[in-house]
């Protein structure tokens, strides 16, 4: 049952709350169990009210467009929050972009290009939202969020709105120092004024390269494993290739033949197939190279 404090506070909230809500249609893998509760706040104020009203014991999980997420077959306990489109609005302010956390990375890249701002076109190659990009310091083709981060707005576990400056958050490979409980709602990103045509040309090259080398039209979750940190070492896909895992199958899950650091739902996979296949890949890579691959895809929920 919904916790008492939340039930009592609910009439004052404007968002939508569903119990036993299916999640798989929100996720790129198209697999996974339901959320115990799914909350879609109306806006940032509504999100603050929800977090202030809930019991401390209620677990909270935030999902964006589900591009880098594997929800286990048993679903997610507690409340799942999916930010609304009202938190996806973006504006250009001179040489910066102010983007809501629910904005698609690709949409922000296109807006910046149209405004004649360079330096943000790498976002076109990241299949997710700005909130997720902040949380994992997303990047590709030599640039990461840390290279363009100016500041952000977040909401803490008690529903308090917090403004963060560049010096308040540190970034490292696929992670940031912001506490896990913070929910990003907005980011300010730095661009560089230049010709819109030049920015679009670079962005188009990036898109063409991505489509030529990655299974972008498959049911996948993006890069599965982080690249090992050893300087000059092999990338994750090279280690997977050398371990003989390209095309490896478990149930309805398969290691992509096009790019072997991607797992694919071939049509009838379960989350357990995908996670089990990923663990098998890790074992084979460790056996051959002695390197323990770390998951880049976030796995949540119960089996």
Please give the C-alpha separations between residue 62 and each of 90, 266, 289, in angstroms, as whole numbers.
20, 26, 35
Query: Where is 172: in which H helix or E strand?
Result: strand 171-172
Q: State the helix-helix crossing angle for 196-213 and 105-114, rounded to 10 degrees.
A: 150
Please give the C-alpha separations between residue 134 and each of 151, 263, 266, in angstroms, as whole numbers.
10, 23, 30
Please give the structure tokens belonging to residue 183. 């929910």
Please give the C-alpha separations between residue 71 and each of 67, 135, 148, in angstroms, as whole numbers.
11, 18, 30
What residues contact residue 145 under an 8 Å CB cut-off, 6+ apart? 133, 134, 137, 138, 139, 171, 176, 189
Q: Is 200 left (phi over 0), alpha (psi -120 to 50) or beta?
A: alpha
- ∠ CA 52-24-123 to the nearest 5 degrees? 75
Known active-site residue 195? no
Q: Catalytic residue among 174, 200, 288, 299, which?
A: 174
Known active-site residue 288? no
What residues contact residue 289 under an 8 Å CB cut-off, 6+ apart? 234, 239, 242, 243
Q: Catalytic residue among 36, 44, 144, 296, which?
A: 296
Known active-site residue 57? no
Cβ-contact 282, 298 below 8 angstroms: no
Q: Catalytic residue among 144, 223, 270, 284, which?
A: 223
What residues contact residue 249 under an 8 Å CB cut-off, 6+ apart? 255, 266, 277
Cβ-contact 188, 96 below 8 angstroms: yes
Active site residue ranges: 174, 223, 296
């Amino acid at each position: 049952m919904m916790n008492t404090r939340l039930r009592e506070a609910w009439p004052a909230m404007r968002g939508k709350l569903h119990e036993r809500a299916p999640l798989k249609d929100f996720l790129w893998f198209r697999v996974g169990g339901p959320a115990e509760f799914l909350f879609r706040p109306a806006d940032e104020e509504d999100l603050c009210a929800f977090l202030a009203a809930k019991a401390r014991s209620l677990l909270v999980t935030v999902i964006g467009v589900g591009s880098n997420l594997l929800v286990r077959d048993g679903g997610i306990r507690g409340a799942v929050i999916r930010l609304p489109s009202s938190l996806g609005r973006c504006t250009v302010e001179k040489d910066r972009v102010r983007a809501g956390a629910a904005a698609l990375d690709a949409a922000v890249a296109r807006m910046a290009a149209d405004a004649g701002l360079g330096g943000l076109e790498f976002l076109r190659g990241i299949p997710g939202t700005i909130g997720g990009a902040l949380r994992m310091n997303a990047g590709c083709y030599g640039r990461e969020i840390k290279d363009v981060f100016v500041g952000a707005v977040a909401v803490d576990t008690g529903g308090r709105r917090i403004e963060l400056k560049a010096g308040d958050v540190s970034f490292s490979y696929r992670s940031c120092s912001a506490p896990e409980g913070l929910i990003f709602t907005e980011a300010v990103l730095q661009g560089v004024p230049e010709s819109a045509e030049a920015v679009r040309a670079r962005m188009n090259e990036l898109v063409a390269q991505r489509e030529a080398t990655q299974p972008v039209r498959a049911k996948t979750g993006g890069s599965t494993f982080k690249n090992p940190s050893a300087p000059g070492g092999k990338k994750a896909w090279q280690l997977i290739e050398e371990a003989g895992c390209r095309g490896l199958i478990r149930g309805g899950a398969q290691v992509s033949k096009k790019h072997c650091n991607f797992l694919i739902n071939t049509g009838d996979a379960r989350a357990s197939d995908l996670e089990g296949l990923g663990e098998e890949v890790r074992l084979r890579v460790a056996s051959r190279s002695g390197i323990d691959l770390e998951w880049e895809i976030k796995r949540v929920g119960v089996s």
